[in-house]
Amino acid sequence: MSDYGHDLLFGSFTTPGSDDPERAVGLAVLAEQVGLDLVTFQDHPYQPRFLDTWTLLSYVAARTDRVQLSANVTNLPLRPPAVLARSVASLDLLSGGRVGLGLGAGAFWEAIEAMGGRRLTPGQGVRALEEAIEIIRQLWDAEARGGVRVDGEFHRVVGAKRGPAPAHEVPIWLGAYKPRMLELTGRRADGWLPSLGYLQPGDLAKGNEMVDDAARRAGRSPRDVRRLLNISGQFASAGRGPLHGPAEQWVRELAELALGDGVSAFILASDDPDDLRRFAGEVAPAVRELVATERERGTEPETAPAPVSPVVVTPPARPARATVTGGAFAVVPTPDDGRRLSDQRVWDESARPTGPAPDPSRTYTPHEQATGQHLVQVHDGLRGELAQIHDLIEQVAAGEIDAGTARSHINTMTMRQNRWTLGAYCESYCRIVTTHHTIEDQALFPRLRQADPRLRPVVDRLEQEHHVIHDVLEGVDRALVAYVGAPDGLAELRAAVNLLTDALLSHLSYEERELVEPLARLGVS
């Protein structure tokens, strides 16, 4: 059993497809909005179907504010280490200290050779990787005297000037599976980053032992090496295998990996936005809670690193919601507080139909309640994002947005740049809302109509409101366009977003009030 006491991180592993570049960027933005800690992309420079990973990471850094970023993992044979060191340091400075460096010794050697790289044996790859780590760390050490000198077998730097230093201590994570790579990880790296799909039962324990032994021999603590893990799976109503089942199963299995194998960062390989929402909204908080509870029952590892709380999107204050347990219905719909920001009304709320009253004698299992809970959690994410839009508008109005933080590589703060930042955020947010409603209209609502005809008036009304919200979103887009071209357009933009706020919050509360119990009762997944 190994628990190194690190804070838990949850991230995404996204395909950098070149056929739809905006999709990869949109998934990264979504990962931040739903509260994930880390966004990663694979790095295969020889693959024309993929965007260049470092260009993509730079673009994503400019579209996000909080999420950490890394290649998963960098293809070192095609990235000269001295140049890579400056690329990483530059992006870390531009992003406000949000970059990690995943490194690999190389694979797919024919493709690497075709791109001008040198084919290496496994042993040569490990030695080349260690030389690269030395070069990278020396270049980052801008305070040391003299130039960087590494006269290696594969990489040679003779007096290169040091710097720039990154904004923070950039961690180096190694994608390692074999003994020589695991030994190097323990001696020189800050993290071990394998993929669960490439491991056999017992490989994590064996790998931890090799990493720990190498760390001790190098005079380090095993806790100096974070254990990260790429995972993949499928959410389903019933368990069909490891990480293939309901969210509760994912929580149990990831908590076991954290407490038993020391994994403290779980990176989900999925290009499905709903997977990211469920991973962030249902799995991550529950794993954190379960691991924290088990750690409190036991003994915290000595000299464990101080926990670093991830920055998440905080939705507006709402009543505490009970934990889903068996028996009574514990998923609490979000009440409508009745406050409105706009004088305009887009519908008559008094004309909303209601569904059948719940049976007071019926009990519900945690599994039955999970779908309704997920609906509320998705809505909470939308509420939190809406609050961010209001905050951005007020920052724009006050001239307080730091253009250097969001767009450091472009000119410093100007009103035009502030408008562009706001427009980009609203654009991505509106796209997420539209996608959420499309999923409901095409999948969830027809099933509810069929399962309980008494719900048809409610479902019909919800669909009608989705169309109205779409029109309100279009109004926000029009106000944004007008605001970019007219310095006096802030009032119209505020009015459009206020109307969106009234409509969306009212609609989400109505939907939860009418659907969370039927979702549990009817077993609609």
3-state secondary structure 409-474: CCCCCCHHHHHHHHHHHHHHHHHHHHHHHHHHHHHHHHHHHHHCHHHHHHHHHHHHHHHHHHHHHH
Six token digits for residue 172: 């180096």
- Quick one: pLDDT at residue 466? 85
Instruction: Judge whether 94 and 145 are in contact, CB under 8 Å.
Output: no
Alpha helices in 36-108 (DSSP H): 53-63, 81-95
Phi, psi torsion values for 518, nearest 5 degrees: -60, -35
Element (H, E) at 122: helix 122-140
- Tell me which CATH code domain 351-522 carries: 1.20.120.520
- Measured distance between the N- and C-terminal CA atoms of the chain, rounded to whole angstroms: 36
- Tell me which CATH code domain 9-297 carries: 3.20.20.30
**Among 254, 288, 225, 31, residue whose Cα is nearest residue 41:** 31
CA distance 189 to 211: 10
Query: What is the value of pTM for the model shown?
Result: 0.61
Name the residue ranges covered by the structural domains of the chain.
9-297, 351-522
Between the CA of residue 119 and those of 126, 469, 484, what are the distances in Å?
Answer: 13, 56, 52
Six token digits for residue 204: 């994590």
- Quick one: pLDDT at residue 303? 41
Helix (H/G/I), strand (E/B), else coil: 107? coil
Bridge partners, residue 235, by sequence: 245
CA distance 373 to 375: 5
Element (H, E) at 226: strand 226-231
* Residue 357, Cβ density class (10 Å: 0-12 exposed, 13-18 middle, ≥19 buried): exposed
- Quick one: pLDDT at residue 450? 84
Six token digits for residue 279: 């991973």
- Quick one: pLDDT at residue 367? 72
CA distance 126 to 133: 11
Q: CA-CA-CA-CA torsion for 121, 100, 92, 150, nearest 10 degrees?
A: -30
- Quick one: pLDDT at residue 372? 79
Six token digits for residue 7: 């804070």
pLDDT in tens, the chain (525 residues): 589 999 999 999 999 999 999 899 999 999 998 889 999 999 999 999 999 999 999 999 999 999 999 999 999 999 999 999 999 999 999 999 999 999 999 888 999 999 999 999 999 999 999 999 999 999 999 999 999 999 999 999 999 999 999 999 999 999 999 999 999 999 999 999 999 999 999 999 999 999 999 999 999 999 999 999 999 999 998 888 999 999 999 999 999 999 999 999 999 999 998 899 999 988 998 999 899 988 888 744 444 444 333 333 333 333 333 333 344 567 788 888 888 999 999 999 999 999 998 887 888 887 777 777 777 877 776 777 677 667 767 766 666 643 223 222 212 222 122 232 344 334 444 444 455 455 445 556 677 888 889 999 998 998 899 889 888 877 877 777 676 666 577 788 789 889 989 998 999 999 899 988 888 888 754
- Quick one: pLDDT at residue 405? 30
**Among 163, 11, 181, 226, residue whose Cα is nearest residue 98:** 11
Helix (H/G/I), strand (E/B), else coil: 9? strand
CA distance 496 to 426: 12
Alpha helices in 314-402 (DSSP H): 366-398
CA distance 224 to 94: 27
Instruction: Judge whether 173 and 76 are in contact, CB under 8 Å.
Output: no
